[in-house]
Every structure is written in structure tokens, then in C-alpha cells.
Amino acid sequence: MEFLYLKSLHIIFVITWFAGLFYIVRLFIYHTEAESKSSPEKEILQKQYKLMSKRLWYIITWPSAILATGFAIWMLVQNPAYLTMSWMLIKIGFVGLLILYHLVCQRIYSQLQNDIIKSSSFKLRMFNEVATILLFAIVFLVVLKSTINWIWGVVGIVAVGLLLMGGIQLYKKVRIKNEEE
């Protein structure tokens, strides 16, 4: 019974962690796009995006990441047999990539808080899709669990990733066309 409570809490905090990761990159995009605005609009927008980012990052995203990871470790301690299952080891690998993604977001967050803009909004839109691909990979892996299904899942994830990237490219072209009109 206790395991099911841990699992429920783990899932809840994974959801809030991903919500924070999805939204923080959107705020990065808006912050970056505000750079092209004229004064005082630029300063007002960037100040607001800094505040929104700070609250999201430290009140929702970081705590969710820590709690999701903590509950996952707690479940693994209770059931160490999971560590012998290939699907779980692959999942842990994807979670490692998710943590790396989170740390890259931390770096971008810190740069923007210090008025350092190193990425275009287009690059940030592409970067935003990495979390989507990781979400698909982790969920399909946990649900399907078998190696053969996992291989098909990866093929599907690559296809989804290519579709997302194509959609972003199309969005960029439409947006540029609309701005020219």
C-alpha cells in the first residue's frame, strides 16, 4: 500500500516538473523576444519575465524535480529488483537526460536573470521540444516495458521529434510571412 502512495506522489511531481520545464522555456522565448522591443516596453516585459521565471523555477520546477526524484529513489530502495529490469535501466538513462536538460535550463535561466541572451527564440523553441521527446520516451517505456515495444517506441519518438521540428520550421515561415505583410 505504501508503495502505491509513493508511486502516486512520484507521478504527481513528475507531471508538475514537466509542466515547469515546458513553461520555463516559453518564458525564456518571450524574454528573448522582448529584447527586440523598444523602451520602455522592453524593460517592463523583461522585468516581468524575470519575476515569473523566478517564481516558476524556484517554487514549482526545482521542488518538483527534487520530489519526483526523491520518491523514485524511495521506490527503488523498497523494490531493488526494479534495478535488474532492462526497461528500468533505460528509463533511468532517460531521466538522466531529463536532469541534464533541467540543468541546461538552469544555466539559461541564470543568464537571462543577468540580462545575457545567448540563444534566439527559434533555438529556444527547438530546445523546448527536447522535453517533449523525453516525456514521450519515458512514458512509452514505462507503459510498454518490453524491449521490442521499446524499440518501436524509439522509432515513434524519432518520428514525433521530426514532426515537431518540421512544425516549428513551418511556424517560423508562417510567422515571418505574416510579419512581412
Helix/strand/coil for 141: helix
d(CA 130, CA 69): 19
Residues in binding site: 10, 91
Q: What are phi and psi of 2, to 5 degrees?
A: -60, -35
153 contacts 141 by C-beta, under 8 angstroms: yes
Compute how many other C-beta atoms are within 10 angstroms of the C-beta atom of residue 81. 8
Residues in binding site for heme: 10, 91
45 contacts 30 by C-beta, under 8 angstroms: yes
